[in-house]
Amino acid sequence: MAREREGGPSRRARDLDQRLLRIKEDIRRRWIELGAVLAEIQETLAYRELGFANFQQYVEDRLAVSSRWATYLVCMVRKARRFGIDANTVARLDISKSLEIFRVDDARKARTLIEQTAAENVSLKEGKRRVAVALGQSTEDEPPTRPKGVVLFGVAVGGHTSGHHGRPV
């Protein structure tokens, strides 16, 4: 399809771009909703009633995602609730940025990071740097590797290559 104006995007390209941006916003809200539903499934042990031995099996079968990722999402939603941060505020960010910010275990710092990241359209790399500062960690270009057994999002991780990938602590 030809462009309507020389040097600018065609109407079709602009329309497709607008559709994409609307879907992106919907996806942001749906990730938070997904995390809330997964948290309830985990809390109520509903996965057992559905014939699954554990939560990890449930999410891997139903969602085709790693149990570690699902656990991070659940922990993020729980931490947002604990901090009094509503879903609409969290949904202003991409999921990767939200997951990174919720490594911080201080409600005020997490709220500030969310507001700044959304207002300034901070990149993921810069967001990670700001989270490191909030956590009192190194802010070098290359973050240090995480040691085995580190706790992220309230979940002990590290050193696992199969089986149980994370456990609430």
- Measured between alpha carbons, how far is 7 from 25 in angstroms, rounded to an integer? 28
Task: Specify if 99 maps to a domain.
Answer: yes
DSSP codes of every residue in 110-142: HHHHHHHHHHHT--HHHHHHHHHHHTT---SSS
Task: Specify if 92 maps to a domain.
Answer: yes
- Measured between alpha carbons, how far is 72 from 86 in angstroms, rounded to an integer? 17
158 — pLDDT class (breaks 50, 70, 90):
very low
Express each pLDDT in 89-99 by its tens digit.
998 898 999 99
Task: Specify if 51 maps to a domain.
Answer: yes
Paired residues of 78 in beta bridges: none
Task: Specify if 151 maps to a domain.
Answer: yes
Express each pLDDT in 17-39 by its tens digit.
999 999 988 988 899 999 999 99
Q: Is the pTM of this model over 0.75?
A: no
Q: Lay out the sheet containing 155-157: strands in order across.
A: 150-152, 155-157, 167-168
Task: Specify if 1 maps to a domain.
Answer: no
Give the mean pLDDT of 40-65: 96
Q: Domain span at residue 77?
A: 11-168
Task: Specify if 4 maps to a domain.
Answer: no
Task: Specify if 5 maps to a domain.
Answer: no
Express each pLDDT in 122-142 by its tens digit.
999 999 999 999 999 977 655
Tell which wins on pLDDT, 109 or 143.
Answer: 109
pLDDT at 111 over 70: yes
| Number of domains comprising the chain | 1
pLDDT for position 141: 57
